[in-house]
Amino acid sequence: MSFAVQAVGALLPSVPLLVGSTAVGLAADFALHRWQRNMAAALGKLHATVFVRQIVRDLLMMVGLIVIEDQDYEKKYLSLVCGLLIFYALHFACQAVAMLVRRTRTLPVVTRNIDASQLRLSPAPPALLMQRSGQRLLMFSLPSTAGLLTDATGGSARWAAAGIALSIAFALVAIGRLLPRLLPGRRPVTNEQALEWFEAWLAEYQPTVGMYFSGGTSSAYQANMWLEPLARLEGRPLIVLRERFMVRQIASTDIPIVCLPKVADLMRLEQSTLKTLIHPSNSGKTSQVLRIPTIKHAFVNHGESDKLSSCNPYAKAYDEVWVAGPAARQRYALANVGIDDKDVVEIGRPQLDVIEPYAGAAAGPYTTVLYAPTWEGWDGNPGNTSIIEAGENIVRTLLADPGVRLLYKPHPLTGSVVPQAGAANARIQEMIRAANAVRAAEHADERPAPSAAAELTRRTAELDRLTTSSSRTSADDAERMLLQSAPEPGRAAAVAAATAAWGAAFWASFPAWEHQIVTGARPNVYACFNAADVLVSDVSSVISDYLASEKPYAVANTSGLPEQDFRDAFPTVRAGAVLTPDASGIPALLESVRHPEKDAYAEARTELKLHLLGPSDPPSVVRFNDAARALCAAADEHRAGMAVRALAGIPRQRDAGATLESEHVRG
């Protein structure tokens, strides 16, 4: 619209239209690059890049100025046009130099919590010069645009010339900042030097057990839930990533992190002391690390449920499948997807230690209900999530009860596959905000003291400092380089303490009657478990994890199955209430929570907890460590066998049966 109005203002000519539309268009471009980067990228795919937009904007300004003058414009504006052309040429040159500098700074390995000072890496140039070419063009174009606008309002052409000259100066300064980075003495180490340093570090650190993860930004939670259990394992843990951006998404931890984007560099782990890798999820790149014969692999999953994804046939690619309890073992056996029972190891869920046990009826005037629907999944099954068919009914019914405080925590991927799920999620959040507005008017005098909000602000700043400091953001913003800092011992413990303090401050910062929409990383789902009196969810791993508390729960049935068939198909439902899409069972559910003597599923929850999560003795942490130790021993045995076969001259490429037979004969 701004371009259309600018064209009209240039051709009429109308100075107010020309100046106003140019200013609006430039402001809109800045807003796109600041808050709507996806829209800016979409425009780029239509070839309406920021460069095209800016040059059209300048072209229309020049047309307007020529029409306004209507005489002697050749001499007056030819120099201005030439100046703009010079500026755009310098912009291209700056971008080319930035690409060359970025290429020299893109090393084959990215690390975090590892002392990389031996590489003597220099700080990266400002991100505005290195990566944000669109913002750079808009920023550097401001003086030239301002000069042209001044000329259009009746000022002298000298203002336009001065503005263009200033834009050219900015571009020259930027190029001057970047060019020295290409000198031989200013370049970082070569790829081979970086890899040699990495191999030397591996030999010194001697990792034994690690976690392998590959995925998108929204899937980082799958890896983060295993950080604390991994840190408590015996040996020297390591985290192996494949995407550079993921280095920043891993939560604060003391564990060394390495990112190896290329397969050839990943294969260097074969010569390391790394024996075992756990895998929280499957990805296309998982098959690449499975090629390393010296490492044993265990699939631990990021959650267990009755959904088909919890018995994926891909799991047979791993040496072992570590599950929580007997239920998962039975699930794999019934699915008949090629997983041998001997390869299934029950370890419990070590990350559930933070969940508090059931303490009986809710204290206080409000019953806290956690509604945590899962996402729609990849298979298109309408019964995966309740948010589309039942979500608004569930939330509407809960909000209608004056004694309910609702915690709404949707799955991070909600709406990523089915747009209707995203739309329902937005409507639900709007319903909750409206309900809070009504309650705020009713409880105007019931607000926490201002000191509570101040305490939350202080705790947030403290936690942010611990989780976003230089030792955490070791990967690339624009530079894509290794961080020259050693790990800080005790950081994980400090983060854990700060997180607990932040959680206490968070729940104390709002009144007991206020509903909450929880979509960020904090508080996590386990903290919401502890705050809730009852859970409403779908068939998902949320149910299995929540059972660690033995609190009441309900499952929404949007599968179309009768209730008994639904319970038979999904064993995790058998110890909870089943809600129909109209949410008519909500009042009875709340009654059973408020009056525990009416709770018909208490014993069933205890039995189901044992079935899903296994026994409490030995603790899950101990069983997890025992499984890791046993798999490391198997890796040692396998390496010894490989060494024997190498001495015997048996090619490693032989199939397993022939190799074993030959080894038996030689023995």
pLDDT, position 70: 59
Q: What is the pLDDT of residues 282-298, one digit of tens each?
A: 988 999 999 999 999 99
Distances from the Cα of 522 to the Cαs of 140, 347, 368, 460, 468, in angstroms?
38, 27, 18, 10, 14
**Token pair of 550 as six digits:** 């033995």
DSSP state of 293: T
Distances from the Cα of 128 to the Cαs of 178, 246, 469, 482, 615, in angstroms?
12, 22, 21, 20, 55
- Report the chain's mean pLDDT, rounded to a whole number: 87
Q: What value does the mean pLDDT take over residues 394-399?
A: 97
Scan for tokens 């929409």, then name that residue. 517
Inform me whether the pLDDT recorded for 250 exceeds 70: yes
Domains 191-353 and 355-447+512-613 share a fold: yes
pLDDT, position 652: 61
| Count of other CB atoms within 10 angstroms of residue 379 | 10
| Nearest-angstrom CA–CA distance, 8 and 352 | 64
Q: What value does the mean pLDDT take over residues 234-245?
A: 94
Q: What value does the mean pLDDT take over residues 346-363?
A: 85
Nearest to residue 81, comparing CAs of 161, 175, 169? 161
Q: What is the pLDDT of residues 101-126, one digit of tens each?
A: 988 888 899 998 888 888 877 788 88
For residue 141, give every residue at least 6 positions away whose Cβ sits within 8 Å of its Cβ, in sequence order, or none: 26, 54, 58, 87, 167
Counting Cβ atoms within 10 Å, is residue 656 exposed (0-12), middle (13-18) or buried (19+)?
exposed
Phi and psi of 292, rounded to 5°?
Answer: -75, 115
pLDDT, position 472: 37
pLDDT, position 656: 41
Inform me whether the pLDDT recorded for 479 exceeds 60: no
By percentage, how much of the chain surpasses pLDDT 70? 91
pLDDT, position 491: 66
Instruction: Return the half-sphere exposure (C-beta side, CA atoms, 13 A cut-off) of residue 6.
Output: 24
Strand partners, 609: none
Inform me whether the pLDDT recorded for 480 exceeds 50: no
Comparing 355 with 647, the larger pLDDT belongs to 355
Inform me whether the pLDDT recorded for 187 exceeds 90: no
Nearest to residue 532, comparing CAs of 557, 549, 517? 549
| Nearest-angstrom CA–CA distance, 235 and 564 | 48
pLDDT, position 75: 64
* Class of domain 191-353 (CATH, top level): alpha beta
Domain ranges of the chain: 2-108+122-185, 191-353, 355-447+512-613
| Count of other CB atoms within 10 angstroms of residue 203 | 11
Q: How far apart are the first and last CA of the chain?
A: 82
Inform me whether the pLDDT recorded for 304 exceeds 60: yes
Counting Cβ atoms within 10 Å, is residue 590 exposed (0-12), middle (13-18) or buried (19+)?
buried
| Nearest-angstrom CA–CA distance, 573 and 582 | 18
User: What is the full DSSP assignment across 608-661?
Assistant: HHHHHH--SSS-HHHHHHHHHHHHHHHHHHHHHHHHHHHHTT--TTS-HHHHHH
pTM, two decimal places = 0.78
Strand 257-259 to 110-112 pairing:
antiparallel
Strand 404-408 to 516-517 pairing:
parallel
Question: Any idea which architecture 355-447+512-613 has in CATH?
Answer: 3-Layer(aba) Sandwich (3.40)
